[in-house]
Amino acid sequence: MPCDYNGGAIFSLCTDANRYTKNATSIDVVASYYGGGISGPNGNPVAPTWDYVMALEIQEQEDFWKAVELQSGYFKHQTPVKKFYLSGKKAGRYRVRMYYQARENDEYTGSVITYSFPVER
């Protein structure tokens, strides 16, 4: 799986391929958390639960990306495989962006983005 990392490799965001041909039916994505405990509400270390939103984005212009589908959930160590189905989507360059926030402390928030990849239709 091609992966991108952020936050000193605290999070990874991986797709099942780096190119999707006309025969591809979905983009499968998994996010993982590799960090340790975070500061909880009382300053004590806690094992975080991450709320997230994954956005499948298409490149509309050179520096402009538009979300075409959203999926959300929560996880501690790894998300289940999230499938973005390609039926009805147009050809182009895509990427997946995941926004995350810790339930225990809203100061732990951010995003990670995959490398862009072509989708043929």
CATH of the domain at 57: 2.60.40.2550
Domains in the chain, number: 1
**Token representation of residue 12:** 């990874």
Closest CA to 35 of 116, 113, 112, 114: 112
The residue count of the chain comes to 121
**Could you tell me the pTM of the whole model?**
0.93
**Residue pLDDT tens, the chain, 121 long:** 688 876 555 899 999 999 999 999 999 999 999 988 999 888 889 999 999 999 999 999 989 999 999 999 999 999 999 999 999 999 999 999 999 999 999 999 999 999 999 999 9
Taken in order 85, 88, 94, 97, is the CA torsion positive or negative?
A: negative
Question: What's the longest Cα–Cα distance across the chain?
Answer: 52
Q: Could you tell me the residue range of the domain that residue 86 belongs to? A: 3-119
Closest CA to 119 of 12, 24, 1: 24
